[in-house]
Structure 1
Amino acid sequence: MMTHRDALEVLAAVRSDQVVVTTMGSVAIWPQLSDSPLDFHYLPSSMGQGGPLGLGLCLAKPGRGVVVLTGDGGLLMNLGCLVTVAQVEVPLYIVLIDNGLYEVTGGQAVPNAGGTDFGAIARGAGIGRVYTCDSRAGWEAVAGEAVAGNGPVFVWLKVQGEHGKPTPAAPRPMAEQIARLQDALR
């Protein structure tokens, strides 16, 4: 099984000029792989808002691709966003990092960890392109295709969970991140 870092390294290798929105555990890893002004590290007080933020960016900047890195815990807190996202043809790529844990809040198991078919949920919500990978090699084989072209797209990456990880901090204050992203999108 791949690690969270493996999953993000593969994405970093195929990423184009897309906005990348990171949430929760990905906020600790992505800045080690990319420091683009198009990177936005979103740590809200409520989980599950990465998908709606990505959709808003797609609607505000038609044609601009947005990759959202979300965790299984966060997605479970806002499954309804998949139904909303599926209604609009935009280049939005939701990449689910499924480690079966609320990793950064103490390592508690998410409800039905390992038993939820997130791919079936995404398809059932109406998302036409769904990819599922549980190895780095499998992800490398489809990553370029998965985060390109028409969307929305849902990518379900099964990764190893890690206990004892602290809640990450964004590499820059929110106001600075917003200003960088606004400048990059002008």
Structure 2
Amino acid sequence: MELRDAIIRECKDERDMTLRDYHKRAYRVVLRLLTAGLLEKSKDISEFARYKKTPLFVASVFKQRVTGDRGPKQPKQPTQVEHGAPSLPVKDLCIRDELDQLVKTYQVDLLSSIGESEEYLRLHQTYPQLKAKLEPHYLKSRDVSSKILGKIRAIESVLAGMPKDPVL
């Protein structure tokens, strides 16, 4: 309810929207947050769906979207450093920020997956009779960790090839 109400407050500037349109927009935002892993559906048995924030949501930094004229976008020009040398174009800075954020997201996922693997090992040591049931889960979580680590390394190699932000 809080998220839906906040979205409706943000959209009040847009005219010709019905309450149903506001609810549709709020639902689309919730779906995006679910897909990104920032929200998870609560397991409560109730008539209405409830969502709760994930640790990734809490660790995320959100930027306020500037609302205004939604006319045709003008291409952004490179910014200029005080001494006159061109710095990174604004688009490249945004890409770098997005990639940095993606690495942080994957690092959180990696820590979670490593913790899961360690817990399966601990359970195996505590309850050796469960080895047959625990081993497939352990191997799967280890595989997930390896894939996430590969994603982090790939993005970091791309970031290493990009120029750093200029110091103003």
By the TM > 0.5 criterion, same fold?
no
Answer 1 or 2: which has greater helix percent.
2
Question: Relative contact order, CA 8 A, sep 6+: which one is greater?
Answer: 1
Relative to the length of structure 1, the TM-score reads 0.20
